[in-house]
């Protein structure tokens, strides 16, 4: 059975837990990180002191997007890990693009979710919101031409940004109207794995 180590209020853990649900992989998840801490056994698995980490038989793997690629290749078939390298790469690029978006969103998330009102940096929140809007506008232009970041069907390319999109739509910040991002997000919300693993209160 697949074991996922990491607390579910982490964006990176949500990615892995959601894909496991999409693929129907039997799994168990253990809370690690944040308020749950990390013991010596966990640090032996992941010396970076980060989450998530998975154990799949004899395989121990960390780095969330590497885990997504591994699970898709091992369990996802052609839909989640296409044999065509071009088709795979066109979806895969959005997985790495997400890291730049995460940097843009960090200021708003930390200040509005992880800090009390008295400790918030309002200028940082505004800068972050504006940076997120610029990045989401890029996403919107792409989604105007294809329904999913993975192409014509939902796939692995939608998962990293799908997690961050929920946060963007949930944070109390100004957001531009982006028709195609909103439509994509509405389709994501219809997926049971997204509802159970991603659409939880921000904390």
User: In the chain, what are the domain boundaries?
Assistant: 2-79, 83-196
> What confidence tens digit (pLDDT) does each residue in 159-179 have?
999 999 999 999 999 999 999
Classify domain 83-196 by CATH number: 1.20.1050.10
| Distance of alpha carbon 84 from alpha carbon 140, whole angstroms | 25
134 preceded by cis ω (within 30°)?
no
> What confidence tens digit (pLDDT) does each residue in 127-141 have?
999 999 999 999 999
- Biggest alpha carbon distance in the chain? 52
> In this structure, which CATH number among 3.40.50.1370, 3.40.50.10860, 3.40.30.10, 3.40.50.300 belongs to the domain 2-79?
3.40.30.10
Contacts of 159 (CB under 8 A, 6+ apart): 15, 18, 19, 22, 68, 95
Residue 11 pLDDT = 98
Residue 191 pLDDT = 98
| pTM of the predicted model as reported, rounded to 2 decimal places | 0.96
> What confidence tens digit (pLDDT) does each residue in 65-107 have?
999 999 999 999 999 999 999 999 999 999 999 999 999 999 9
**Tokens found for residue 23:** 């693929």
- Average pLDDT value for the chain: 97
């Amino acid at each position: 059975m697949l074991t996922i180590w990491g607390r579910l209020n982490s964006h990176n853990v949500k990615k892995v837990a959601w894909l496991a649900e999409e693929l129907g992989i039997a799994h168990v998840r253990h809370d690690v990180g944040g308020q749950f801490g990390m013991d010596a056994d966990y640090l032996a698995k992941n010396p970076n002191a980060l989450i998530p980490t998975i154990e799949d038989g004899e395989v121990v793997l960390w780095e969330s997007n590497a885990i997504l690629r591994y699970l898709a290749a091992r369990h996802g078939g052609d839909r989640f890990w296409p044999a065509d390298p071009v088709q795979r790469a066109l979806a895969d690029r959005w997985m790495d693009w997400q890291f730049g978006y995460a940097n843009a969103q960090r200021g708003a998330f930390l200040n509005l979710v992880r800090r009390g009102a008295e400790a918030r940096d309002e200028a940082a929140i505004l800068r972050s919101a504006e940076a997120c809007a610029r990045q989401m506008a890029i996403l919107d232009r792409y989604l105007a031409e294809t329904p999913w970041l993975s192409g014509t069907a939902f796939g692995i390319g939608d998962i990293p940004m799908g997690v961050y999109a929920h946060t963007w739509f949930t944070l109390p910040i100004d957001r531009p109207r982006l028709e195609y991002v909103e439509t994509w997000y509405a389709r994501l919300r219809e997926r049971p794995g997204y509802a159970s693993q991603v659409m939880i209160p921000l904390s």
